[in-house]
Structure 1
Amino acid sequence: MQITRLTDRISVSPQIAPHDIAELARLGFRAIICNRPDDEETGQVSEATICEEATRHGLAFAYVPAVSGAITAADAEAMANALATLPAPVLAYCRSGARSTKLHEMARGSAEPLSSLEHHPSARTFDVVIVGGGSAGIATAASLLKRNAKLSIAIIEPSEVHYYQPGWTMVGGGIFDAPFTRRSQASVMPDGVEWIRASASGFAPEDDRVILTDGSDVHYRVLVACPGIKLDWHAIPGLPDTLGSNGVTSNYRYDLAPYTLQLVDGLRGGRALFTQPPMPIKCAGAPQKAMYLSCTRWEKSGMLPNIDVQFHTAGAVLFGVPAYVPALMEYVERYNAHLNFESKLVAVDGAGGFATFEQKRGDTVTRVEERFDMIHVVPPQTAPDFVRSSPLAAASGFIEVDKATLRHARYANVFALGDACSASNAKTMAAARKQAPVVAVNVLAALEGKPPVADYDGYGSCPLTVESGKIVLAEFGYGGKLLPSFPTWLIDGTRPSRLSWLLKDTILPPIYWHGMLKGREWMVKPHMIGA
């Protein structure tokens, strides 16, 4: 731990881990303040976990989350109240410690919010700044450098680990091992890119700059924003406290996908619930994929007749593109899964084995408790906090773009792609793979002062793993238009196919690691406007 003493009453540090709490107690700290909103980055330790461990060691705890780059007077007041009521000495932490320091200063009335920090003359400037080093950001940088290796490009990304997230459903289904989906961030960072190991906390598009969590600036000629989506686990009361235990799991987290498999293989009978929140979410088919892959294992083991399978979706239909529903319904009937439409998960009691749903029936909404022996949860999802509060946000909170060119609606030198942009396409890795080359050529045009030259048709792909060895390969664009990559005599995407399984199981992972992330645009060459 790197602890910085500010006064006799308060010290600050970067993110702490549960195993640090005992040492903090030994050092004499009597209270902890968490200034970091949950889910700022993948794998972040939740405030609930730290709170539980702090309580276990006799330390008081307060949760005073503040969004970097947008700290408010209310945040400072909350910090002041916490410091006034908690026993001293106190340790406050955030991602780096800078936010906690600023909140302390503001609580004492000696500083302005981070959002008002003026531009630093020494700030770095790049041709292109990419916020987010996930699939979309790395692919865009690689595509840019393939076209112009002389560009100065910076990628702002705090995580040291890069994940192949489409593989997590396969981990939960016993097809992949979890480490297969994980590599170091350094190993995928394109040569020639400057990796800024930090988190963005705000955008100042009028000044062509990105604000980092330490208050420093990074300037750009063109900005590409692709910081991903926020998985809001805390939006469901009781969920964070029981995830990974009591039969509560989710393939939407790397560390929990193996627990899904453990639960599936250990369930000999009882009730299994699978949930889907309101749109938008990452990969709209993933919630039901978890159900199908679980059912196919129960079917093979002979346990399926003993298990009551329930699918609860906040939506009114099984899948948003009608052409794929008949094939999916065949599997729903085969597995005797019960569909509960317009049924939204609103609370989880892991210890009690109950989940609460709000169910809409006509104009009436009622709360229903459902017992479970296993529940696979998909959390509600929103734009990241610092995006929602930024000038780039649309009314939805996501980055407002023209859906064809992916250029921002108000700032001509700003582009967005991936899960954080407002375009109505399905939020899938396949969509980012198609978007990245479009953004790359449009960024190059913007650097020359020209309008966009390529457009995106909304393509997304959702390989629906309906059983072990077969997939319904859903490929579609804006408006639900079918956009198959292969002739129907080879792969009919509306029917389950073994060849589609081969694509998902064997072909797509190396295409991701060695194609998409390397700027090799196999089958996704950008469509030029007017061509």
Structure 2
Amino acid sequence: MRRTRHRVVIIGGGTAGITVAARLRRAGQADVVVVDPAVTHYYQPLWTLAGAGHAPIEESARPQASVMPRGVRWIRQAAERVDPDEREVMLADGSVLGYEHLVLCPGIRLDWDGIAGLRPALGTDGVGSNYAYESAPATWNAIRNTRSGTAVFAMPAGPIKCAGAPQKIAYLAADHWRREGVLGAVDVHLILPTLGLFGIPEYAGVLAEVVRRYGITVHFESEVTAVRADVRELTVRGLTTGATFALPYTMAHLVPPQSAPDWIRESGLANPDDPGGYAEIDKHTLQHVRHPDIFALGDAGSSPNSKTGAAVRKQAPVVVANLLAAQRGAPLPARYGGYASCPLTTARRRTLLAEFDYSMRPAPSIPFLDTTRERTDMWYLKRRGLPFLYWNLMLRGRF
């Protein structure tokens, strides 16, 4: 068994892992390891636009090697377990990494079998999902091939990454059918596990008008539990009543239930009462509540913010500042306020930029712009500005 020891080990080479690694290197940290088996890095926010025919899916992918910060050691293996008492990470190939400090950001696990029949139906017979690189193009095929019938867009219960995405594609699809002159022939359904369209009234009111504009039927406190592709039918369950009903579909955009990777719970790093198994951290410092040498950010952390790339952008400098302070034995100086951002695409070239924090109130980052309404400039920010900032600044630790 091969053993090595390092000053900082980062599990996960996605948005959070690369951003933290870049910031640590810029802060002068020489011994930084990133553990991730992926050979391709994805800018996932573009998948919604690809699923609506507004961007090529290939634009979202780059080689992982091209975003890895210089001077960082990249171990192309999957982490399988953490021993927080021994300060060790066990990898899939049997090797062991010791660490002084550990940063957990392995992303979120998509349970494609959590909806019965979804996995075999995905990408065929009108079923797509923008939550996978391979199936987002199938969403666009289903949308453009639908000229009449029933279209269903669903969100699962529980925390998911980019919780606005199941709604975004519904609005973009309806806008496409409106422009094609066939919206009146398409019965659009939106299935949400929540009590409302959005948790912040200022944005919920705008979305209610969008739903009214497109004539969308919304099923609140509900989720899809099964797909019967042979007869093109979904089973929908009410979360409070437990009652189910069958909903036929011509096309459907479905999102799988999500949770933290199993090994976080198995390593004793989650709260035993947390059904999602997320790494149990202080929501402000992002330090583990029981293991001060461990920090977590991104989708696998227990902080109650919306799981978005914008949240990672605010979390990464907090983790780096606090980790550096912990190395010196100093008090942790940085705090994360729960900021997250969700650019809700409501039509072609129209976006509602929802920004908020732990207060669950609007938290605009550009004070002189009214982002509580649909805006064309926010569409171009999502389509062009944010990808540029992501690839050229954020992943390099500069934004």
TM interval, short-chain normalised: over 0.9
1:507, 1:429 → 2: CA distance?
14
Deviation, 1:481, is 2.6
Aligned-partner residue type, residue 13 of structure 2: G
Q: Is 1:247 aligned with 2:126?
A: yes
1:365, 1:511 → 2: CA distance?
44
Deviating above 4 A after TM superposition, structure 1's stretches of 4 or more consecutive aligned residues are none
In structure 1, the partner of 2:266 is 389
Aligned match for 1:216, one of 95, 106, 112? 95
In structure 2, the partner of 1:446 is 326
Aligned match for 2:27, one of 147, 158, 161? 147
Deviation, 1:388, is 2.1
2:329, 2:90 → 1: CA distance?
24
Q: Is 1:499 aligned with 2:397?
A: no
Deviation, 1:385, is 1.1
**Structure 2 residues not aligned, in runs of 5+:** none
The answer (yes or no) to whether the contact 1:144–1:441 under 8 Å persists in 2 is no
1:342, 1:161 → 2: CA distance?
36
Count how many residue pairs are aligned between Structure 1 and Structure 2.
396
Aligned-partner residue type, residue 392 of structure 1: L
Deviation, 1:127, is 1.0
In structure 1, the partner of 2:247 is 370
Aligned match for 1:287, one of 166, 171, 178? 166
Aligned match for 1:508, one of 386, 390, 393? 386
In structure 1, the partner of 2:218 is 339
1:194, 1:292 → 2: CA distance?
43
Could you say which structure has the greater relative contact order, defined with CA pairs below 8 angstroms and 6 or more residues apart?
2
Q: Is 1:427 aligned with 2:307?
A: yes
Deviation, 1:320, is 1.7
1:204, 1:133 → 2: CA distance?
20
Identity %, equivalent residues = 46
Aligned match for 1:517, one of 389, 395, 398? 395
In structure 2, the partner of 1:456 is 336
Deviations 1:20-47 (A, max 9, x none): xxxxxxxxxxxxxxxxxxxxxxxxxxxx
Deviations 1:327-381 (A, max 9, x none): 1111101100001011111100112100001124xx6321100000001001111
Report the RMSD for the aligned CA atoms in angstroms: 1.1
Q: TM-score, normalised by structure 2?
A: 0.97
1:399, 1:227 → 2: CA distance?
10
Deviations 1:78-113 (A, max 9, x none): xxxxxxxxxxxxxxxxxxxxxxxxxxxxxxxxxxxx
Query: What does residue range 30-109 of structure 1 map to in structure 2 within 5 Å?
Result: none
1:369, 1:408 → 2: CA distance?
43
Q: TM-score, normalised by structure 1?
A: 0.73
Deviations 1:119-157 (A, max 9, x none): x5x511111000000000000000111111x42000000
Deviation, 1:317, is 1.2
Who wins on radius of gyration, i.e. which is larger? 1
In structure 1, the partner of 2:151 is 272
1:383, 1:518 → 2: CA distance?
26
Deviation, 1:445, is 1.0
**Structure 1 residues not aligned, in runs of 5+:** 1-119, 522-531
SS of aligned partner of 2:85: helix
Q: Is 1:472 aligned with 2:355?
A: no
1:357, 1:463 → 2: CA distance?
27
Aligned-partner residue type, residue 375 of structure 1: A
1:207, 1:365 → 2: CA distance?
45
SS of aligned partner of 1:323: helix
